[in-house]
């Protein structure tokens, strides 16, 4: 008899963005003529930049010739891209990585979900709350998260990030965390972590023999020079942290699929009898067994981001989104809403007024202004009383949405 992995059955079947779509559809049925603007889902809208398109065309042409054709590539990714990453993303920040510490992925979601295969099922995990749902759900699927009670998993340690603590999680004092998920700049709050705060986490991990899984998907949006782009800017992080990068938000690659994961060679975890095991060869083994590499065309596209033209063009699109973020912050604050993020990240995290719940505010905004936001509670219990707006829309849609919110608020 084939038995199912019952851990899957514990996952709540309400998926945040499906719930939003359902409510938006219900509204549309009643108001078929309404023109709805979504500042909800975190997907980019602007096209790929010319440098990337040119590189993709070239790669496609190569694939059509006998000399240029490429079949299976290295599971770890092509050297041309890994070299470009070393030289551009790390060396200028004083971080020296070995090329074998870089693993090209098909987007950060896959690897942030898969990485938990390297650790035993009974490690405790700590997450910031609110949180990108992949971190918890991937642990639920193998039975590490325990059972769901009142919106919380019994074996997950939630570290609340709210206005009261400046959205920086407090290091747990009353319990031990083996594995900590951090994401900065943060989705959904749009907040960042300073070097000093991040140093506390690295020191905690080193002292307590914990691992940090660091999601840097939004590092390209950092404008403040004091905010770290990589956890490896902190001394000692090579011994305790794995880092995930993605070109999705950096260069509009949500449909192209490419990113990379850093697993330093100094990083080890313990066996039950205390032997130290390096994780880099384990991840290499895992990838070689279960992954056949990111496609050549996407990797050439990613390489093009590091050319001078690519850098300049990608920066232009990021600036475009950040203009939206600045306008949103200015308008929402002018209207008296309490807003966070939006300065080093394309997300604005807004406190709902007068104790309105996340879903109540979502509906008020949908019915009153025909604008869609994301209810904060969908990202975790500490997201209740907040909503998320994304800056990934066009200027026209963003301006129109803000105008409607202004009219509705009067």
Ligand X SMILES: *Cc1c(COP(=O)(O)O)cnc(C)c1O
Using the rule CB under 6 A, which residue among 116, 139, 187, 298 binds ligand X?
Answer: 187
User: Which of 186, 193, 252 is closest to 217 using CA atoms?
Assistant: 186
Binds ligand X by CB under 6 A, chosen from 90, 132, 158, 221: 132
Instruction: Enumerate helices (H) and strands (E) in the chain, giving the number of each.
Output: 13, 17
**Burial zone of 351 (CB within 10 Å; 0-12 exposed, 13-18 middle, 19+ buried):** middle
Tell whether residue 254 is a contact of ligand X (CB under 6 A).
yes
Report how far apart, in Å, the C-alpha atoms of 167 and of each of 198, 333, 373 are. 13, 18, 20
Q: Which is nearer to ligand X, 331 or 390 (CB)?
A: 390
Shortest CB 299 distance to ligand X, Å? 14
Stretch that binds ligand X, among 56-64, 103-111, 282-290, 315-323 (CB under 6 A): 103-111
Q: Which residue minimizes CB distance to ligand X?
A: 107
Residues 199-238 within binding reach of ligand X (CB under 6 A):
215, 217
**Closest among 208, 152, 199 to 179, alpha carbons compared:** 208
Question: CA 141, CA 73: separation in Å to the nearest integer?
Answer: 30
Of the pair 75, 215, the CB lying nearest ligand X is at 215
Q: Choose the stretch contacting ligand X; rule: CB under 6 A; options: 47-55, 85-93, 154-162, 248-256.
A: 248-256
Residue 259 found at the interface with ligand X (CB under 6 A): yes
Three-state secondary structure call for residue 341: strand
Q: Which range, of 55-63, 105-113, 279-287, 361-369, touches ligand X by CB under 6 A?
A: 105-113
* Binding window for ligand X (CB under 6 A); candidates: 64-72, 102-110, 197-205, 371-379: 102-110
Q: Which of residues 317-356 bind ligand X (CB under 6 A)?
A: none
CA distances from 196 to 199, 203, 212, 359, 368 (A): 5, 11, 16, 35, 43
- Smallest gap from Cβ 250 to ligand X, in A, equals 9
Strands 211-215 and 241-246: parallel
Nearest residue (CB) to ligand X, 39 versus 369: 39
Name which of 254 and 307 has its Cβ closer to ligand X: 254
Are the CB atoms for 212 and 180 separated by under 8 Å?
Answer: yes
Diameter over CA atoms, the chain:
67
Using rule CB under 6 A, residue 183 touches ligand X: yes
DSSP state of 224: S
Interactions with ligand X, residue window 46-65 (CB under 6 A): none
Stretch of residues binding ligand X (CB under 6 A), selected from 231-239, 245-253, 279-287, 310-318: 245-253
Q: Cβ atoms within 10 A of the Cβ of 59, count?
A: 20
């Amino acid at each position: 008899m084939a038995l199912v992995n019952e851990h899957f059955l514990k996952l709540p079947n309400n998926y945040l963005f499906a719930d939003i779509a359902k409510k938006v559809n219900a509204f549309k049925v009643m108001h078929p003529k309404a023109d709805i603007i979504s500042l909800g889902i975190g997907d980019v809208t602007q096209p790929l930049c010319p440098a990337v398109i040119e590189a993709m065309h070239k790669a496609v042409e190569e694939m059509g010739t006998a000399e240029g054709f490429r079949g299976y590539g290295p599971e770890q990714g092509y050297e041309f891209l890994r070299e470009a990453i070393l030289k551009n993303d790390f060396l200028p920040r004083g971080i020296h990585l070995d090329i074998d510490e870089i693993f090209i992925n098909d987007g950060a979601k896959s690897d942030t979900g898969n990485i938990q295969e390297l650790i035993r099922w009974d490690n405790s995990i700590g997450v910031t709350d609110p949180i990108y749902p992949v971190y918890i759900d991937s642990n639920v699927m193998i039975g590490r998260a325990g059972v769901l009670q009142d919106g919380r998993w019994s074996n997950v340690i939630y570290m609340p990030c709210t206005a009261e603590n400046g959205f920086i999680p407090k290091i747990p004092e009353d319990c031990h965390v083996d594995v900590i998920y951090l994401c900065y700049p943060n989705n959904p709050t749009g907040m960042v972590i300073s070097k000093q705060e991040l140093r506390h986490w690295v020191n905690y991990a080193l002292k307590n023999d914990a691992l940090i899984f660091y999601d840097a998907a939004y590092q390209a949006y950092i404008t403040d020079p004091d905010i770290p782009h990589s956890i490896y800017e902190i001394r000692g992080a090579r011994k305790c942290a794995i880092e995930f990068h993605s070109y999705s938000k950096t260069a509009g690659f949500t449909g192209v699929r490419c990113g990379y994961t850093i697993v330093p060679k100094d990083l080890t975890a313990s066996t039950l009898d205390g032997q130290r095991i390096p994780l880099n060869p384990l991840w290499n083994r895992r990838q070689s067994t279960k992954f056949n590499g990111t496609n050549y065309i996407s990797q050439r596209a990613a390489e093009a981001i590091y050319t001078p033209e690519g850098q300049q063009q990608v920066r232009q699109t990021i600036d475009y989104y950040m203009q939206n973020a600045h306008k949103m912050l200015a308008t929402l604050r002018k209207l008296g809403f309490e807003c966070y993020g939006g300065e080093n990240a394309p997300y604005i995290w807004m406190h709902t007024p007068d104790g309105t719940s996340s879903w109540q505010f979502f509906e008020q905004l949908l019915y009153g202004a025909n604008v869609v936001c994301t209810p904060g509670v969908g990202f975790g219990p500490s997201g209740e009383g907040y909503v998320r707006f994304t800056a990934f829309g066009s200027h026209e849609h963003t301006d129109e949405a803000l105008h409607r919110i202004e009219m509705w608020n009067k």
